[in-house]
Structure 1
Amino acid sequence: MERIYDDILHEEIYVNSYTNGLKAFVIKKKNFSKVFAGYATKYGSVDNKFVHPKTNEVVEVPEGIAHFLEHKLFEEQEGNVFDRFAKFGAMANAFTSFKETVYYFISTQNFYENLEILLDFVQNPYFTDQNVEKEKGIIAQEIRMYQDNPNWRVYFNLLNALYVNHPVKIDIAGTLESIQRITKDDLYLCYNTFYHPSNMIIVVCGDVEPQKVFDMIERMEKTKEYQSLIERMYTEEPPGVNQKRIEVKLAISNPIFYIGFKDTLNDLPPYEMMMKDIHTQILSEIIFGKSTDFYESLYKEGLINQNFGFEYTCEPEYSFFMIGGESKDPDKVYERVLEHIEDIKRRGIDKEEFERAKKVVLGSHLRKFDNPEKLSVEFIYSYFKGVNIFEYVKEISSVSFEMCEKRLKEFFNESTSCISIVWPAD
């Protein structure tokens, strides 16, 4: 067991490595009543094509299988895992993202009993032809529900406009057609490939005893042998966007929109990727933050409301920036956004704004350290990208004015932008 103490953040973390490649982390939070525990695999919706770890053949599985697998792991031969957690007073759930699947619980009591349940069910899949067929109907209903959700629709339509080939453009749950092709054998293949301990981590955040956590994991780990690295395969993605505009109509009262910028600076080493992420977040706050004159002018003109916001997604193979919300005239906002970016490029970044934005971004990240759930999920995301979350926070303060100006010129360009709009149905 290794103990790491951060003198600046005053955070204490314990790490334990196992012979099968699994790593476990305890982020010690003294006097916190709530404890978060997550069992995560570096496996998400974009991982549909990979090299079979035993045959070395290229395998392509149906879209949506990572999400399908997440659903199925909660079903046991004896019943439902949620009932077991409820017995010990824990709130349990899971989520599948583009790159990760995370199973977790949050509790204020019976922590070790709940941890035992988490470790047990994630390691014991139970798939049959019958329960797989039954799940298809449940997930098909979920897909239809999301298709009618304007916020979900405007988001994935934007990704479809941004990306030509990359599977990030595909709905995490898959399609109505793709989930029908999922079989029990597909699920076991993906489980045995991606749910190996060497591709997983366990993160616990709260006032718990690290050695007791690590000993329980050691006792309950089923897989003992190490597995070679997983080779994922992605279709080559061109630098340009797929289409400049995508729009649909749904039963809503006001139009909603997202403007997207496709990042072509990818495949960077972890540290460079982290710095790119930080530069872009600071820039986003300088250009579009709620304290800017730009935001205030759009708001006063009635072109946006308080739902207006932005987000940057930074991954090794793909990255994109999106900004949007509700507007009576999304096209006008798109035009103003592009004009505003070009104006800042001409004038340059204001140094006072730069310092203010750094503080905003730093404060946003520091607040996560007071929330076990947010901190743990952010830790998982960062770890799988090869980034230390503590170093991440420190580097925000070290960002230079010149590097942000350089990032502004290389990223925010009209040629790699597009817009997605959901209009009210007639």
Structure 2
Amino acid sequence: MKVKKYDQFNESVYQAKLANGLTVTMLPKTGYHKTYATLTTNYGSIDNTFVPAGSTELQRFPDGIAHFLEHKMFEKADHDAFQIFGQYGASANAFTSFTKTSYLFSATRHLKENLTTLLDFVQDPYFSTATVEKEKGIIGQEIEMYDDDPSWRLYFGMIGNLYPNHPLQYDIAGTTDSIAKITADDLYAAYRTFYHPENMTLFVVGNFDPDEVLALVKANQDAKDFTAFQPIERKIPETAADGHDIIPYRTIDMPVNRAKSIVGVKGLVPIESGAAALKYRAAVNVLLELLFGDTSADYLRLYDQGIIDDTFGYDFELQNGFNFVTFSGETDDPAQFDTAIIDVLENWRRSVVDQDDALALVKKEMIGRVVFMANSLEAVANRYDQRLFGTATIFDEPAVIDSLTLDDLTAVAEQLLQSQAISEYQIRPQAKN
């Protein structure tokens, strides 16, 4: 078992890779009553074209299958995994993102039983035609609910602009038409391909002894039989390096009282995983704070002019294989909103060049936020992404942020904020009859 010490935080992270390939990462925290654990597979909504385990041919699976599989994993032939977690006083959940699926629980007692339940229910799939058909109705209602959500439509409308030929454009849950095509055999094929321990990570943080937890997990895994791991072959379409495939502008009408607008910027340059990805994320977040933080000159100017208001916000998405930034808000004049945001992006140098004092202040604020998050078990676990950041944890982030210079931000801005990578999407109020 490897140990990585963070003396500044008085924390130690323990990691081991088991014989079956499962990576176990543990962060014991004294003084906490709760323990939080996540079991994650590197399988998300964009992984809809792959070679199923045991096959040699690429196969296209229905959009939304990763999310559908996540829903079905809790249901077994004679019980529901939620019931078992409940018996042991745990709160359990799961989520699917573009690139991964995570199953999790938090509990203040019965760690052994809850950890065993987590491992056992995820590693023992049960799908039948009847239960799959029943689930289609449940997920279909969820999809229809999001279809009626203007903010959700705005966000995925922008992703569709930035990635029109990429599975990112599809809702994580799929569509009612796509999930109607999912079969129990499809779920088993996806499960066998992506739910092998070699493609999974267990992260445990909270009140426990790492030697005891590792022994428990190892014994649990040694008692199970797993097939040999077949390296996963995914087909993810490449996007144009010059951004020529980006849709520059779209608008739709919805029953909203006020228009919504979003400006997106697609990262055109691939980001290497590991330390480079961690630094890139930190640099982009600092850059965005300099440009649009609530004390920045441009933010205050646009706010005073009434171009943006308290509904304004921005988001940076970095996952394995892609990254993009969005700026959105409600507005009475979508064209003016978009023009103002794009002006700030294209003239980023006025917020970066010679802004040493502003940079120092932003770095101090961001380090403070990270240190605060490090006290949250959920934040520590959910920010861990071995596939993207290697062995780095939240405790590596303050040093990375502190090391950033204006030259680093200039390099990132030149790489990310390219005019041809910018797109606009608007939702306007429907005309009243």
TM, length-normalised to structure 2: 0.93
Helix, strand or coil for the counterpart of 1:75?
A: coil
Structure 2 CA distance for aligned equivalents of residues 169 and 204 of structure 1: 32
The correspondence for 2:268, drawn from 261, 264, 267, is 264
Give the deviation of 1:387 after TM superposition: 5.1
The correspondence for 2:414, drawn from 409, 412, 418, is 409
Structure 1 CA distance for aligned equivalents of residues 387 and 322 of structure 2: 17
Structure 2 CA distance for aligned equivalents of residues 423 and 360 of structure 1: 36
2:314 counterpart of 1:310: yes
Give the deviation of 1:274 after TM superposition: 2.4
2:289 counterpart of 1:289: no
Opposite residue 276 of structure 1, the aligned amino acid is Y
The equivalent residue for 1:72 is 72
Opposite residue 429 of structure 2, the aligned amino acid is P
Verify the 8 A CA contact 2:31 2:207 in the aligned structure 1: yes
Matched length: 425
Q: Which aligned pairs between 1:146-165 and structure 2 lie closer than 5 A? A: 146-165=146-165
With 123-132 and 309-318 compared, the bigger mean Cα shift is at 309-318
CA separation of 1:384/1:341 partners in 2, compared to 1, >3 Å: closer, same or farther? closer
Structure 1 CA distance for aligned equivalents of residues 153 and 73 of structure 2: 27
2:212 counterpart of 1:212: yes
Opposite residue 349 of structure 2, the aligned amino acid is K
Structure 1 CA distance for aligned equivalents of residues 225 and 18 of structure 2: 10
**Which deviations, in whole Å up to 9, do the C-alpha atoms of 1:187-236 show, x marking residues without a partner?**
00110110000000111110112122112212222245551431221112
Verify the 8 A CA contact 2:248 2:424 in the aligned structure 1: yes
Verify the 8 A CA contact 1:298 1:304 in the aligned structure 2: yes
Q: Which aligned pairs between 1:125-274 and structure 2 lie closer than 5 A? A: 125-221=125-221, 222-224=224-226, 226-239=228-241, 240=243, 241-274=245-278
CA separation of 1:418/1:403 partners in 2, compared to 1, >3 Å: closer, same or farther? same
Structure 2 CA distance for aligned equivalents of residues 260 and 296 of structure 1: 21
The equivalent residue for 1:112 is 112
Verify the 8 A CA contact 2:320 2:387 in the aligned structure 1: no
Structure 2 CA distance for aligned equivalents of residues 403 and 387 of structure 1: 23
The equivalent residue for 2:399 is 394
CA separation of 1:48/1:138 partners in 2, compared to 1, >3 Å: closer, same or farther? same
Structure 2 CA distance for aligned equivalents of residues 50 and 35 of structure 1: 35
The equivalent residue for 2:3 is 3
Opposite residue 302 of structure 2, the aligned amino acid is L
Helix, strand or coil for the counterpart of 2:347?
A: helix
**Which deviations, in whole Å up to 9, do the C-alpha atoms of 1:121-144 show, x marking residues without a partner?**
111111011111111111111111
2:279 counterpart of 1:275: yes
Helix, strand or coil for the counterpart of 2:383?
A: helix
Verify the 8 A CA contact 2:51 2:57 in the aligned structure 1: yes
Structure 2 CA distance for aligned equivalents of residues 347 and 211 of structure 1: 49
With 269-278 and 181-190 compared, the bigger mean Cα shift is at 269-278
Give the deviation of 1:55 after TM superposition: 2.4
Structure 2 CA distance for aligned equivalents of residues 313 and 387 of structure 1: 20
Structure 2 CA distance for aligned equivalents of residues 316 and 116 of structure 1: 29
Verify the 8 A CA contact 1:129 1:184 in the aligned structure 2: yes
Verify the 8 A CA contact 2:320 2:388 in the aligned structure 1: no
The equivalent residue for 1:101 is 101
Give the deviation of 1:346 after TM superposition: 5.8
RMSD between superposed Cα atoms in Å? 1.8
Opposite residue 321 of structure 1, the aligned amino acid is V
Opposite residue 343 of structure 1, the aligned amino acid is N
Structure 2 CA distance for aligned equivalents of residues 335 and 424 of structure 1: 20
Helix, strand or coil for the counterpart of 2:124?
A: coil
CA separation of 1:387/1:113 partners in 2, compared to 1, >3 Å: closer, same or farther? closer
Helix, strand or coil for the counterpart of 1:79?
A: coil
Structure 2 CA distance for aligned equivalents of residues 191 and 31 of structure 1: 38
Give the deviation of 1:242 after TM superposition: 2.9
Opposite residue 200 of structure 2, the aligned amino acid is M
With 150-159 and 354-363 compared, the bigger mean Cα shift is at 354-363
Verify the 8 A CA contact 1:245 1:418 in the aligned structure 2: yes
With 183-192 and 307-316 compared, the bigger mean Cα shift is at 307-316
**Which deviations, in whole Å up to 9, do the C-alpha atoms of 1:99-153 show, x marking residues without a partner?**
1100001112222222221111111111011111111111111111110011111
TM, length-normalised to structure 1: 0.95
The correspondence for 2:368, drawn from 360, 363, 370, is 363
With 350-359 and 383-392 compared, the bigger mean Cα shift is at 383-392
CA separation of 1:248/1:382 partners in 2, compared to 1, >3 Å: closer, same or farther? farther
With 287-296 and 404-413 compared, the bigger mean Cα shift is at 404-413
The equivalent residue for 2:82 is 82
**Which deviations, in whole Å up to 9, do the C-alpha atoms of 1:16-37 show, x marking residues without a partner?**
2210110111111111122111
Give the deviation of 1:317 after TM superposition: 1.5
CA separation of 1:269/1:207 partners in 2, compared to 1, >3 Å: closer, same or farther? closer
Structure 2 CA distance for aligned equivalents of residues 314 and 346 of structure 1: 25
With 111-120 and 265-274 compared, the bigger mean Cα shift is at 265-274
**Which deviations, in whole Å up to 9, do the C-alpha atoms of 1:271-315 show, x marking residues without a partner?**
322222222111101101111121112222222222322121123
Helix, strand or coil for the counterpart of 1:145?
A: helix
Verify the 8 A CA contact 1:273 1:316 in the aligned structure 2: no
Structure 1 CA distance for aligned equivalents of residues 56 and 370 of structure 2: 41
Structure 1 CA distance for aligned equivalents of residues 55 and 345 of structure 2: 51
Structure 1 CA distance for aligned equivalents of residues 178 and 135 of structure 2: 13
Opposite residue 38 of structure 1, the aligned amino acid is T
The equivalent residue for 2:304 is 300
Opposite residue 354 of structure 1, the aligned amino acid is L
**Which deviations, in whole Å up to 9, do the C-alpha atoms of 1:337-364 show, x marking residues without a partner?**
2222333336752121222222233223
